[in-house]
Structure 1
Amino acid sequence: MSIPIIKMIGANSSSKKRKMKSAKYYGLQNFLQPGCPISLSGSFRDNVRRFLQECGQPEDYKVEGMPIWCTFLVHENRGFVLPLYTFEECVNNSLQPLCDHCRCSGWSHHFVSKRKYHFIIPIDNEWNKPIKDGVLDLQTHILHGLIHCNGFGHLLCINGIEGGSNFICGREVMDLWDRICTTLHTRKISVVDVSKKRKMDLRLLYGISYGHTWFGRWDYKFCHGSFGVTKEKYEQALQILSTLELNNIIQDLKNCSIKKTISRYRDLSETQLATIRDLFRFMISLKFRTPQIKDSKPKPRLTSINKSTMKEKQARCRKFSNLAAKLDSRWHVRRLEHVAKVVVDALKEKKSENRNGMSRQEVRDTARQHIGDTGLIDYVLKSMNNVIVGGYVVRRAVNSTTGVLEYSLQDTLENITQEPEETDRVDSVIPKYKSGSGSDVYRDLTFLYYHLLLNSDSDVVVFAVRTVLDSKNFSKEWPFHDDADEYLRFICKVIPLVTTELNLETGLYKRKNSVGEELVVPLHATVHELKAAAEAAMRDTYCIMENLKVREIVELEGVDDDEVIFGALESGSEISVRGSGVDLLTTSDLNYEGGADNWVVNCKCGARDDDGERMVACDLCEVWQHTRCSGIDDSEVVPPLFMCYKCCDSIGPHMKHDGTGFTDWMMMPVVTNAHSNLFY
């Protein structure tokens, strides 16, 4: 049986065709179902290697020094073939050895893993093209997941039909990602949910409608909130919002349009719609049941687009302001634009000196002099390629001499093909719908979403909505379990380890213990073999364990090395080993994923760790707190000199709010009576 392959944009090279003919193909829906095509019983670090060996085909080139494997997946119903690429990133050779995603997920205390594995499905029109430098920074991938070799990872990007794909929907991509994680024995995956639909935040819409986010279908649950939001506050806020009575809403509202909209859908429903959860859930289900009727008239030619495509091949540029408005970012658009302007100013200064470009690290370091949020800087830099900022074009390319990715500036817009504005194409490519179609349901849903939730007159609803929107970090954990086979499994930790986590009362540092590592040994392994397995696993996984020498197993103290461990240790338990060669007192950039710095976070909202939101450090006590909680608007620049409210109270008079900004006798923006946007 021959497999039809849809020819994608761009011509295939002969080598690519030969490679695809000789490659293995797997059905998309069945790939990595139990036993298909492989069964894995080891830890993630071992399973991923076997997966690449048996299911991946090595590419004959590298990207940024990373080896690449490709796995071809065939959609059983539609017949197209899509590539799943796996990249192995070695942190010793990486430009970004530390993981900002771990830091914002509460995993700063994790030891730095030696390898990261990136699982990427590019956007459709890139399927037949070689992978280029900068692939890890793109936000347009159909799928981008990162997993450290210790089994902890992050889902970074999902784009289905509405995200730009013409062939595969988001649910199918998530099903595939979930099977990858399950089969390879991933331990925990985090995701920052900022997904939207028609400008509605899905974590709010789905939270009210179903009690969980869209990712909750795959068991992703609340991990931690921003601005001090806890799991209890999050669940309480969802409970309050989802149980709002429609009768009370209709009675209290003066807006006749809202009343008519609610009444119309209550009349359409065969069951009683009593609460806002009932209403939203019904409207979402009605949208999926309602057929969308497209206009049969031929589409007019897109004149503005066709004119540009008739020119010579040129790099398309788009205004950064337009791009920023479409990004699902936790930062305000004005903040993204401000960072872009800082980057352009740095490139202009560099260009005036020697007309050379700047490496990513140089741009990052320069921007940090003006912007304290490194996560925000990294996010903007990922998007800055062929973008227009204030009359300048920012380019990103690899320096052919140094091999380093550099940013450069072009100060003229001549011979630049700008991407057409959205208004140039929307009217001619969006299908028209008849009255009562699914499009109308979403229009009404958006109308109710904004008026009943975002613009509510109730303080209780406002605080509850803010609590849900401040909850972006979710995670899924695969519990450690002992299979009924011929192997023994343990979670192994190394002790004693010096810890450095801050005690707010004593001012001393004491970091959480790092996670243990999975061990899999034969049923009749000896104590000596278990020690060797623990030593090999730690050395293979963590940079700091490179010279580890295991001396003893705490639970088997006094037992001879030749003794069999079966019966002495229970499979599936946690064990501790002592050894030498690990020095946590020596400052190293490759000790912890959160870096060598011991940040102290103590914000009035209750936050005690970095939650990924914008923060500012007090210049006296050096304690970090949120800018939002300190009265600094997202659109405002962090002042060059800042004092927290505690230090300000201790040395000077209280600040006053004058309606235009926060000032005091030292010209430091501090708020003493700012309310907390949380629901209690």
Structure 2
Amino acid sequence: MSIPILETCRKRKRRPKLFGLHSFAEPGCPINPTGPFRDNIRIFLKQCAEPEDYCAKGMPLWCTLLVRDKSCVVPLYTIEEGVNHSLNPFCDHCRCTGWGNHLVSKRKYHVVIPNDRDWNKPLEDNVLNIHSHLLHGLIHCNGFGHLLCINGIEGGSKYLYGREIMDLWDRICEILKARKISVEDASKKHGMDLRLLHGVAYGHTWFGRWGYKFCRGSYGVSEENYDRAIEILSSQKLDKIIQDFSDREQSRQIKCMVQHYRDLSESQLVTIRDLFKFMLTIKSRSALQKKLVAATAAPSASVQKNSIRISFHKKDNSKEKYLRCKRFTSVIAHMDSRWPAKRLEFAAEVIVDALKQHKSEVGHGGMTRQDLRDAARMHIGDTGLLDYVLKSMNNVIVGCHIVHRGINSARVLEYTIDDVDNPVKDLKLLEATEEIHQKPLPELLPAPAPVPGTDVYNDVVYLYNNTLLNYPESELLELATQAVLDSKHFVKDRPFRDEDDQLLRFFCQVMPGLFDAENMATETSPAGELVMVPLHATVFDLKQAAEKALRDTYCIMDKFVVTEVDNLGEMEDRDVLFGALESGAEILVRGSGIDLDSNLKHEGGADNWIVRCECGARDDDGERMIACDICEVWQHTRCCGIEDSEAVPPLFVCPGCCTSFGPPMTNSPLEFQCSDDLLLDSATMYGMDYEYDNCIGLLQ
């Protein structure tokens, strides 16, 4: 059987390097680098990959061919993104992980395995924005990185399992000496959040098999809260669960399920962890048997099934584009405004005209709120009207255009515009969608309870929904479940191991000179940069090595000059280091030449916004937030009583600012129909926060 990607190599007259998928990146196979990541990745690209004869949006790329079996060759691409020429120089993943204070690295390396259907095609220019890759990992040249996506058989691959891909990624990170890798675990299966299911069953997420541990929780959840929540949920006694459900309709079903799996198990099932762990073990065995049976099925059946699946997706895609959009006229119809509707519509048309003109002149990007406001003021002098309309313009359709609002890479509010593809057809589709949303949904009959043992996964889903999500009258279990669901960020930390060779290794951190101290941010990369020198190296050699490493890694250090090493006391430049410092020690260096005027300082961007939420969050954790229109402090929408399914109000004033304007009211903010009423409310929100804080104490 011919392999298309090998045929492509033959056409290019290239003799490809082939490596085994399951042995690639094992220690010494094919390389065994001992330096820092910034050096190891260069060795990897030189010895384990072949440069492609094209670029992806100006970014050079290399390809490594991995053989899984005789008929499957997997392309592994490495893409080097230079930050100075990137459209997205900052890293949102670092910011949400809590690494926003890291200095901006000069290069990002993307490790990508495309979807099966794209294995024999050149990578597209938008390769970094595609979410259907089987693997997409990003590692900054300082060794900190992020696992962005894993998609195995259940994610659309015909050949690779998720565990195979994860094993490969873990070996690559290990051989390249990546320092810390984060992952945001939002994976679901059959409607279940796997971080909750696996956390209860195994004590860790699915990624925990490879050493990923709690890094950061949203909504103020700490590691102590998370560990306590897992312990509370997983230690529920099965007999106690049966007793608590005794007066409910699920009682008989849960009792039968527990007894069924107790009869199957050779060991005693006491807690909910024992039960879930046993059920998932049975599930994996039954899934393997189903795959073996499916392999012998007629090919025509599988083709027919795939065609049905494809046609189903095509049918839905045309509607999904407009599910989040509303006509501007429909939006203002539900708003209590002091301006007439025609005046609001005219202001919206002026704003759209300004966006259209900007798009025709610039060709890409959007307009900041201030620039758009200034452009509209050329035609409308009422700034209050403009501010009111701008607040309501997000995913709204004005004429034949869709206006979007979002935060750009510089953390500035920005507006963009898109054209409606087919005005007549698509606007009719939008009308039909709005009409459907306005109709009351028919009352659904409850789904029949599963028969225990018929389908293990159905049993898992049933127990998950009842014992974890809807446990009767237990505030503690409800809070514990929410704490686990609010913990999405996990990280694998690779501890430093000194090699048995003739080199000294030090972690170098920068302490700016006195004349730079007031301007330079105090927080830098917490672990410093790894520097290697020979055993006989002098203090001067260490300064040179540290200077070279920092210049090679960080944007603002391009002209940095090391003048002093703090840890060496009165040692001179010609003195030998051996015996004065232990290998693996951290050193502080002073110097000059840091580019303090550069915009590329920290991965979190300009960092000129303030987060101060009632849940305790003091930094962006990736959850939806809203800024107060008076103090401009950001808070979680959920903590402010705004559900995720609700639109953000066009005008928002936080409880603190409400209190400063007048005495608190007793009515709930959820009872108000007009956004202007939010200016008067605060008491109920404080009551909700006080109650939540008391509940958090139960997890400590």
With normalisation by structure 2, the TM-score equals 0.78
Q: Following TM superposition, by how much is the alpha carbon of 1:368 offset from its aligned partner in structure 2, in angstroms?
A: 11
Offset at residue 413 of structure 1 (A): 8.5
Q: What one-letter code is carried by the residue in structure 1 that aligns with 2:512?
A: P
Tell me the SS of whatever aligns to 2:465: helix
1:463 matched to 2:473: no
Gaps of 5+ in 1: 310-314, 325-333, 372-376, 382-387, 395-404, 419-434, 502-507
CA distance in 1, matches of 2:10, 2:425: 38
Match of 1:604, SS? coil
2:366 aligned with 1:362, yes or no? yes
Aligned partner of 1:289 in structure 2 is: 285
Cα distance in 1 for partners of 2:30, 2:351 equals 50
* Paired position in structure 2 for 1:472: 488
The 2-side partners of 1:5 and 1:407 are apart by 44
Q: Give 3-state SS (helix, strand or coil) of 2:610's partner.
A: coil
Residue equivalent to 2:301: 299
In 1, the alpha carbon distance for the partners of 2:545 and 2:309 equals: 64
1:57-97 per-residue CA deviation (whole Å, 9 max, x = no partner) reads 00001111100000000114x64100000000001110000
Q: Which of 1 and 2 has greater Rg? A: 2
Q: Which residue of 1 aligns with 2:22?
A: 29
From 582, 599, 608, the equivalent of 2:594 is 582
- Structure 2 partner of 1:424: none
1:562 corresponds to which of 568, 574, 584? 574
Q: Give the unaligned 5+ runs of structure 2.
A: 332-347, 374-385, 388-392, 404-415, 430-449
> Structure 1 residue 625 and structure 2 residue 635: aligned?
yes
Which residue is 1:421 aligned to? none
Tell me how far apart the structure 2 counterparts of residues 141 and 275 of structure 1 sit (CA, whole Å). 38
Displacement after TM superposition at 1:170 (Å): 0.6
Q: How far is the alpha carbon of 1:300 from its aligned partner?
A: 8.1
Q: Does residue 74 of the first structure (1) align with residue 67 of the second (2)?
A: yes
Summarize the Cα distance change of 1:339–1:544 in structure 2 as closer, same or farther, 3 Å threshold. Answer: farther
1:616 aligns with 2:626: yes
**Cα contact 2:358–2:367 (8 A) shared by 1:** no
SS of aligned partner of 1:589: coil
Show CA shifts across 1:131-170 (max 9, x none): 1111101110000000000000100010001001010001
SS in 1 for 2:455: helix
Residue of structure 2 aligned with 1:525, choices 510, 519, 537? 537
Is the contact made by 2:401 and 2:419 (CA closer than 8 Å) also made in structure 1?
no
How far the C-alpha of 1:597 sits from its partner, in A, is 2.7
Instruction: Name the CA shift for 1:67/1:365 in 2 (closer, same or farther; >3 Å).
Output: farther
Q: Which AA in structure 2 matches 1:672? A: Y
Using a 3 Å threshold, how does the CA distance of structure 1 residues 339 and 250 change in structure 2: closer, same or farther?
Answer: farther
Per-residue CA distance 1:467-520 (angstroms, 9 max, x = gap): 00000000001112211111111100111379999xxxxxx9975333311111
Q: Which residue of 1 aligns with 2:95?
A: 103
Structure 2 match to 1:397? none
Aligned-pair distance for 1:543?
A: 0.5
* Contact kept? 1:555, 1:576, Cα under 8 Å: yes
Q: Give the structure-1-normalised TM-score.
A: 0.80
Distance 1:303 1:553, change over 3 A: closer
- For residues 605 and 514 of structure 2, the distance between their equivalents in structure 1, rounded to whole angstroms, comes to 15
User: Residue 178 of structure 1 corresponds to which residue in structure 2?
Assistant: 170
Q: Following TM superposition, by how much is the alpha carbon of 1:361 offset from its aligned partner in structure 2, in angstroms?
A: 2.9
Secondary structure in structure 2 of the residue aligned to 1:674: helix
Relative to structure 1, the CA distance from residue 346 to residue 36 in structure 2 (aligned partners, 3 Å threshold; closer, same or farther) is farther
Change (3 A) 1:258 1:438: closer
Secondary structure in structure 2 of the residue aligned to 1:139:
coil
Query: Which residue identity is paired with 1:514?
Result: S
Residue 525 of structure 2 corresponds to which residue in structure 1?
Answer: 514
Does the CA-based 8 Å contact 1:539-1:548 persist in structure 2? yes
Q: For 2:196 and 2:622, how far apart are their aligned partners in 1?
A: 19
Structure 2 CA distance, aligned partners of 1:358 and 1:484? 57
The reply on whether 1:39 has 2:32 as its aligned counterpart is yes
**Which shows bigger deviation, 280-289 or 618-627?**
618-627
Aligned to 1:230: 222
Q: Report which of the two has the higher share of helix.
A: 2
Identify if the C-alpha distance between structure 1 residues 53 and 270 changes in structure 2 by more than 3 Å, giving closer, same or farther.
Answer: same
Whole-Å Cα distance in 1 between the matches of residues 350 and 226 of structure 2? Answer: 41
Give the distance between the partners of 1:392 and 1:296, measured in 2 at CA.
Answer: 49
Q: Is the 8 A contact 2:283 2:457 kept in 1?
A: yes
Shift of 1:306: 9.0
Write the letter of the residue equivalent to 2:301.
K
- CA distance in 2: counterparts of 1:248 and 1:441, whole angstroms: 22
> What is the DSSP-based 3-state SS (H/G/I as helix, E as strand, rest coil) of the residue aligned with 1:172?
helix
Partner of 1:145: 137
Preserved contact between residue 223 and residue 475 of structure 1 (Cα < 8 Å): yes
Q: Aligned-pair RMSD on alpha carbons?
A: 4.1
For residues 387-409 of structure 1, give each alpha carbon's deviation from its aligned partner in whole angstroms, at most 9, with x where no partner exists.
x9999999xxxxxxxxxx99765
Taking the aligned partners of 2:678 and 2:302, their CA distance within structure 1 comes to: 63
Alpha-carbon shift at residue 592 of structure 1 (Å): 0.7
3-state SS of paired residue (2:221): coil
User: What do the CA deviations read for 1:243-280 (whole angstroms, capped 9, x no partner)?
Assistant: 11111111121222222222222222122211110110
